[in-house]
Amino acid sequence: MVISDSSLPLPISKLALGTWAMAGGQLWGPQDETDSIVTIHTALDAGITLIDSAPGYGNGLSEEILGRALVGHRNRALIATKVGARDLTGEQLIASVEASLRRLQTDRIDLLQIHWLGADTVLEDAIADLESLRASGKVRALGVCNFGPSSLATLRKTGTGWLTNQVAYNLLWRAIEFEISAACARNNMGILCYSPLQQGLLTGRFKSAAEVPTGRNRTRHFNCENALAQHNGPGHEELTFATIDRIRAIADGLGQPMTDVAMAWLLHQPGVTSVIFGARSPAQVTANLRASELKLDRATLAALDQASADLKKALGSNADLWAAESRIR
Ligand SMILES: NC(=O)c1ccc[n+]([C@@H]2O[C@H](COP(=O)([O-])OP(=O)(O)OC[C@H]3O[C@@H](n4cnc5c(N)ncnc54)[C@H](OP(=O)(O)O)[C@@H]3O)[C@@H](O)[C@H]2O)c1
C-alpha cells in the first residue's frame, strides 16, 4: 500500500532505516557513532526517506544520533519517532515530544507513533491529545505501533487520518496475518514492518539458538530461561532453525542471498507500505537495498509461505514478539 500523504513533504520509501541498534547498550552491544552517522547518510543517498527512532531506544541516544546525522540533511528525511506508553496524554505527551524535538534538532516530527499502549491507557484520551498536538503543527502525521484489532477499531471510530501501524513482521513472525493485516486495511492504514530480518536470524549468521546473543534471544522463538525473556514458554528453537534452513534452501535455489529473499517477501505482502530494517553499517544498508529490486514469482511466494507455515502456526496469533500475555490488543 503506497502512502504519499499530503501532510508529508516526501513520499515514504519502500525500505526504511531503523535506528534502534544504533543505541547499542545491553540489547545490541557496542556501536560506534561515526558508523551510525555514515549508515544514515548512506541510506539517504540511496533514496531511503523514512528513518525510524524512539525515545525508548537507548534512553534518547538513538534520536540524538539521528539528530546529529541530519544536520544539513533534514529536508531529505522523514523522521518517524514515537511516544511511550506512560506519556500518551497531557503534559507528559508534550514533554516527551519537546524532548524528542530537542534531541532530533528539528522543529517538527514527520510521523509520531504510539509506541506501545499501557495496561491502563485510555485510548480515546490518547487519540484526542495526539490529534491536538498534530493540530499545533509540531507533528505532521500520526501513526501507531503494535496495535491489534480492538485498538484499531477504536481508532477507526474516534481518530482521523492516522497513517500507519508499525508491527513485527517477517518470515519467522507472521502473527499479523491472522487478524491485524485485515484490520489495518479496514482502517485504510499502511503497515510498517519492523524486525524484518528477525533481528539478524534471517541473514543466516546464527547457526543455532546457542549462537543468538542475549537481547535477541528474548523473543518467543526462544526458551524463556534466557536472561532477558519476558515470557514463560519453552520457545520453538528447533522449528525456528528448521524454518531458516527451508528458507535458505529456497533462496539458494534462486541464487539469491536469504537476506534479500526475506526482505523481498515482505515487500510482496498485501498492505505493506515500508519495511524498516535495522542496520549499523553502510554495507548492511547497501546489501538490504538489493531487496527492493528482487521480484519473487507466485511459486516462490507460495514456497516461502509453506516453508514458514509450521512456525506461524506454532507461534500463533499473539503478535507480541516478547510477551506471552500480549500487550497488543
Ligand atoms: N515499534 C516497535 O515496537 C519496534 C520494535 C522493534 C523494532 N522497531 C524498529 O524496527 C527497526 C528494525 O528492527 P530490528 O533492528 O529489531 O531488526 P532487524 O531489522 O530484523 O535486524 C537488524 C539487525 O540485523 C542485522 N543485519 C541487518 N542487515 C544485515 C545484512 N545485510 N547482513 C547481515 N546482518 C544484517 C544487523 O545485526 P548486527 O547488529 O549484529 O550487525 C542488524 O542490527 C528498529 O531499528 C526499530 O526502528 C520497532
Atom from ligand 1 closest to the CA of residue 145: 1
Along the 329 residues of the chain, how does pLDDT read in single tens digits?
556 678 999 999 999 999 999 999 988 999 999 999 999 999 999 999 999 999 999 999 999 999 999 999 999 999 999 999 999 999 999 999 999 999 999 999 999 999 999 999 999 999 999 999 999 999 999 999 999 999 999 999 999 999 999 999 999 999 999 999 999 999 999 999 999 999 999 999 999 999 999 989 999 999 999 889 999 988 999 999 999 999 999 999 999 999 999 999 999 999 999 999 999 999 999 999 999 999 999 999 999 999 999 999 999 999 999 998 889 99
For residue 319, report the distance from its CA to the centre of ligand 1, in Å.
Answer: 17
Cα–Cα dist 14/23, whole Å: 24
Q: Residue 209: what residue type?
A: A
For residue 107, report the distance from its CA to the centre of ligand 1, in Å.
Answer: 27
Of residues 57, 173, 206, 265, which has the active-site annotation?
Answer: 57
To the query of whether residue 194 is one of the catalytic residues in this protein, the response is no
For residue 299, report the distance from its CA to the centre of ligand 1, in Å.
Answer: 28
Cα–Cα dist 99/88, whole Å: 14
Q: What is the DSSP letter of 46?
A: T
Kindly report the pTM of this predicted structure.
0.98
Domain boundaries, the chain: 15-207+257-301
Angle in degrees, 0-180, between the axes of helices 282-289 and 258-267, rounded to the nearest 10: 60
- CATH number for the domain running over 15-207+257-301: 3.20.20.100
